[in-house]
Amino acid sequence: MTAEKTVLLLFAALAGAGMGIGTYTFVYAKGTSYISNDPKVCDNCHIMNKEYDGWVKSTHHAAAVCNDCHTPHNLVGKYETKGLNGFWHSFYFTTGAYPDNIQIRKRNRSIAAANCRRCHSDIVHAVDGRYPKAQALDCLRCHSEVGH
Partner 1 sequence: MDFKNRAKAALIAAALAAVAAAGVTALLINIFERKQEAKNPFFRVVDLDEETEDPAVWGKDFPFQYDGYKRTSEMRPTRFGGSEAVSRVPTTEDPRKSVSRSKIEADPRLKTMWAGYSFAVDFRERRGHAYMLDDQTYTGRQKADPPGTCIHCHASVVVPYRKLGDGDLMKGFSKMNALHYTEARKLVSHPVSCIDCHDPKTMALRVTRPGFLEGIKALKASQGTKDYDPNLMASRQEMRSFVCGQCHVNYYFRKPDKRLVYPWTKGLTVEDAIAHLDKDKFQDWVHADTGANALKARHPEFELWNQGIHARAGVACADCHMPYKREGAMKISDHHVRSPLLNINRACQTCHKSPEEELKARVEAIQAKNERLRGEAMDAVVALIGDLKKAKDQGRKDPAFAWAGDLQRKSQFMVDFVCAENSEGFHAPQEAARILGRAMDLARQGQIVLRDAAFKPTEPLSGPQ
Q: Write 143-146 long-range contacts (CB < 8 A, 24+).
A: 143/116, 145/54, 146/58, 146/59, 146/60
**Residue 17 binds partner 1, judged by CB under 8 A:** yes
Neighbours of 55 (CB within 10 A): 21
Nearer to partner 1, 122 or 145 (CB): 145
**Residue 15 binds partner 1, judged by CB under 8 A:** yes
Q: How far apart are CA 54 and CA 136, in angstroms?
A: 28
Site string for partner 1, 47-86 (x = CB under 8 A): ----------------------------------------
Residues in contact with partner 1, counted by CB under 8 A, come to a total of 27
**Residue 131 binds partner 1, judged by CB under 8 A:** no
Query: In the window 79-118, what residues touch partner 1 (CB under 8 A)?
Result: 90, 93-94, 99-101, 103
